[in-house]
Amino acid sequence: MNQETFANISKIIERDTKVTTYKFALLRGVIDIILENSPYIHIQDGRASIPTGLLVEKWMVYYYPIFDSEEYIPQIYGNANIAFRDKFLDVIRYYKDKGGLSVFYNDLKYKGIPQEIRVDFLALANKMADTIIKMPMKYIGRSITDEYYSIFNYERPRLRNISHEINLNWLIHQYGSFSIPADYFEAFSLLGSFMNGKDSIFLKWAEFSVNASKEPLAIERVIGKVLISPITDRDVQQSKKIYKEILSEQKQVYCVWTGAEIIRYDIDHMIPFSAWKNNDLWNLLPARPNVNRIKRNKIPDADTIEEYKTALEESEGDVEMM
């Protein structure tokens, strides 16, 4: 790996002007896309090209929990708001009682953005893409050279994506592409997990918010928001599949709420997924289908949990033994 490239990346992280969190979001997004081995990455003529829409997707995931926080977490110095905050709040308000970030991300990635929020989403996506191109892409690397777009080059789309579905595929084809030198791509590939770790970009993003805040703000709370990721329907199905495989090896399966031995069963979230996006195995329990339908999104009260304490402990023990 080119040592000068790694030194330049370190300078960018440490020395480039930090008026907003845009720089951290851009670097984090590029690293995440590269580490995910996106099939949309193309390397040609010494540069790696990536759809700008993938960055828009990442920024939506990064900034959603920050703007959704009950505690204000500043992303810019002074009294101003970053360019797309107000437009994002319109989208966040729509999803507030529908499941929040995870439901929003499922719509974006798989189902398509609902018609009733589409105008607000398009305004957000356009503003976010414009901000990415005209702000951090333009200015990143100014601690190394006086040139604009010294590392990131942007190429406009040849044709806009005309589609009835507004989803991730639409984003990928809507906003053109950007490229970075191949040696930067290699550096991000080899050291991205370190540079994107808590000791680097995550921590510095959180430190920025704490320093920009006029109110007491715990860095741990900011890091918690920065690290939040959505859980998709596919994640839920994968966890349920794993749990069913565990249960199949136990030979006998009992409904956690009735105690009856069951052959056909649903996998129930003890704490409903709509209330808490927790897909850990301990929160998944076997239940009779009719009992699960009755429970649906209800949160068990303390008396109910106490009544079925033994069955719950046995279910948890079965998971831990595997």
133 and 159 in contact (C-beta within 8 Å)? no
Dihedral sign of CA atoms 36, 38, 41, 43 in order: positive
In 3-state terms the chain splits into helix, strand, coil percentages (rounded to 5) of 55, 10, 35
pLDDT tens readout for residues 123-139: 999 999 999 999 999 99
Can you tell me the distance from the alpha carbon of 270 to that of 68, in angstroms, rounded to the nearest whole number?
25
What predicted TM-score, i.e. pTM, was given to this entire model?
0.73
Task: Tell how far CA 295 is from the center of its chain.
Answer: 29
At 322, the pLDDT band (50, 70, 90 cuts) reads very low
pLDDT tens readout for residues 6-60: 888 888 888 887 799 999 999 999 999 998 888 999 999 999 999 999 999 999 9
H/E stretch holding 5 reads helix 3-15
pLDDT tens readout for residues 181-195: 999 999 998 877 766
* Residue 156: both structure tokens together: 């406009």
